[in-house]
Structure 1
Amino acid sequence: MARRWTPRRFVVLRRIRVVSCALLVVLAMVLTFFISARKSVALSVNGQTKMVTTYAYSVDGLLREQGIKVKTHDLVDSTSGGQLRNHAAVTVRSAYQTTIVIQGQRVPFWTTATSMDQLLGFFEENRKQAMKVTVDVGNVYNQLTGGLVINQAGPVTVIADGKTSVAPDGKLPAASILDSKGIVLGKEDRVSVEHDQGATVLRVQRVTHGNTQRTIPIAFATRTVVDPSLAPGQTQMRQAGVAGQRLQTIQVTYVDGQAESERVVKEETVAMPVDQVVAVGPDKPKEGQNSGQQSKDAGKDSQQVQKTPSPSPSASQDSQSATTPAPTPTHTKPPQTTQPTQPSTPAPAMPDNKPAPSPAPAPSPSRDGLWHASPELAQAYAGGAAAQRGWTGSQFADLVTLWNKESGWSWKAKNPKSPAYGIPQANPGSQMADYGPNWRDDAAVQIDWGLNYIAQRYGSPSAAMRFWNQHKYY
């Protein structure tokens, strides 16, 4: 027997249908969320690639999920930008610090290059004019700084002790190549890599030290004494001056036999200077200064003026005239020049023993970095730093144009309307302190910060340049 239709039964069925539809919608949304949020991503860390499944929405979230710590100068790249998408490729390259030499100036440089040859190539890609760039290998036996291969592509020319040879296998670190050539390094010897006419050159420079001495003259002083026995303006040499001597011991640093630098390690005075003594006659007295008659006449005139009554005298003036005695005329004597207590021919007192040597001045600390760099030098550094991010050609040209408009590539550029500072015009400039404490003076610190800022906010210099053209800032 079929159930009878009732209003209550209708309400119950309707509620069941509504709840069922709501559950289906929620289930569909959950399934859609998990299907869309689930991503398969290729994650490469320092050349090691693996496929990972993640529900992270951003690259930063993926790295946190995988426990990968990214430091300040490390490079992170994603084919999908900051927003993570399915089948994206994320690359993380850890940076290490080496030292490059640009036009003789040593500059710390953070790089992700896998070989010295690749690092030099970064600077050549964006270089418009010939500018000598070499890479110093600080410690060839250190895996981080000296463990990189020299040349992935081919042989390496080795120059050491005035001899040139070729290492056929460039896919070796500097230590292995030098060991194969029987080259033993001293504690301070320098190893560098450079490009020379298309060849990769591994150069060893021998560093030695030697001492030399230098005599520095000490100027003597001149003293003047007044001798009344001499005519006015007459001079007479009483004692000839003798210069003293200061002896400096200097330590000279030689690189491959050529003097490179020096510093004072000891300094002492070996002879005291003897003063030069010159006697001069007294000054000639001025005319009229000794005339007693003129003084007497002046006294009489003064008396006559005081005795002459005033046309309208006052009581106070009469009282003062009555009580004030007339001045007595005096004769002015010529000034007498006193003989100085110091003898005219003093004998210099020479010490019995040699004076104690004065401490040698401390050598000024060397400033590695792009300290107060010229725009040309700053652009050379930026060319290598940008190239390792893949910013070459038009990308680097846009970077040059962008920072020309912002600061003219001046390390000390300021904005009168804001606290922006430096080549990239960081606002405020103190943001760059994360990249180095010398951000006010070191162009390398400013450039490193600026490149990271562009990468994080715009993705590339060309995108930043397009934004600047529209808004006149970036």
Structure 2
Amino acid sequence: MTSVPENLEPQPTTAETRAVTRTHRVRRRRTLIASFTVGALALGVGSAVGVSQAHKTVTLDVDGETRSVGTFAGDIEGLLAEQGVEVGDRDVVAPAAATSLHDGSDVVVRTGKQVAIQVDGEESSTWINAADANEALNLLSQRGSEVHLVASRSEDRAALPLDVHDGQDVAVVADDEIEVVDGSEDLNAVLGAADVEIDADDIVTVTDAATADVTAKELPEDAEMPAVAAVVQRVDVERVTKTKTIEREVKVKQSDDRYEDLDPKVKKKGRDGSRTVVREITTIDGEEVSNEKITSMVTKEPRTRVLVEGTKPRPEPEPEPEPEPATSSSSSSSSSSGSSGSSTSYSGSNRQIGQQMAAARGWTGSQWSCLESLWTKESNWSHTAANPSSGAYGIPQSLPGSKMASHGGDWQTNPATQIAWGLDYIAGRYGTPCGAWSHSQANNWY
């Protein structure tokens, strides 16, 4: 016999070994096994020699195949060798191999078979010494209230390493119907006899009829109640695709070039986006058992709707000038003109300050549009914007924010200081705002 991996379960217990002998001739076997014990105690050395030399007729049961054998062998080990029955480490012999043979002895051999089982919902693998599935279920019944032998699957075949119920009928439960067929063959043949077809996803188990909820009133007319049931569970796996709408954002920009009493102007129409989600839904006999998300991806990017809101006050109408006195012979007017020098101070909203400072670098037109979009995405032009997860701060989202101290100690509160640092950063790393914006769109950072 081939060696057995160490991680497999141990040999059957004494209780399991005793249970092996309980086949359809259970009464006779119990009696004979009991007589072996009594006879062994009564025999002396001389009588043992006599038994070994005498011709005996014994019954040999190997995995349910029973035959009457004539032999001169003195013990069970000799009988098995004589009959060419090899016993491996996982096999069970009852009585023990060293037991003396007597005329009329019953010898039972059960080869070890590895099976997948489910006990009270928990799946595992074990070795079992049984002639058929019915005997295996009896041996395993001590482990839990609900025991199933789980068939291995290959396309449209279901297999167990033992027959279902030798010499007895079994119930085949599938598609809310029950058929009663001969269980003497392997599981695949039993399903075929019931005209039950299976596919690669279906689950096939063998259990006792009570666990399968088989009742006498559900059986075909005149059918007797089977002890064993083969149960087919239909498994369907379906992928469902759904598309969800991603609502567009609406941003309002303020402009001191537009009167405040006018309705907001649409600068960009924007649009809703969409997300496609694929889920895998598994049902067993029509009941959903799992619903897993397989993919979720944006299939159409939303575009922000941009409105421009005026902040410019509407000027008060100028009063009409009073007429000059008619006696005035001449009029003179004096006018004063003043000029203001260039100033490095900026005023207005954060965006307006940014636009002025960008223009001082020559970044107008499309470059200003790129800069405006970049910092709208990063901070919505808020000089107090803080990212709690990364620590980025301010209008340009400097990481860390303290980098902006190189342009002024008021970097935490002064938008102009932050903008000056940000413009230098963009110029040094990307050359232009559009270069930075292109990188941000591709990588979601800049």
Bucket of the pairwise TM-score, normalised by the shorter protein: 0.3 to 0.5
After TM superposition, the score normalised by the length of structure 2 is 0.40
- What's the TM-score, normalizing by structure 1? 0.38
- Greater relative contact order, per chain length (Cα 8 Å cut-off, separation 6+): 1
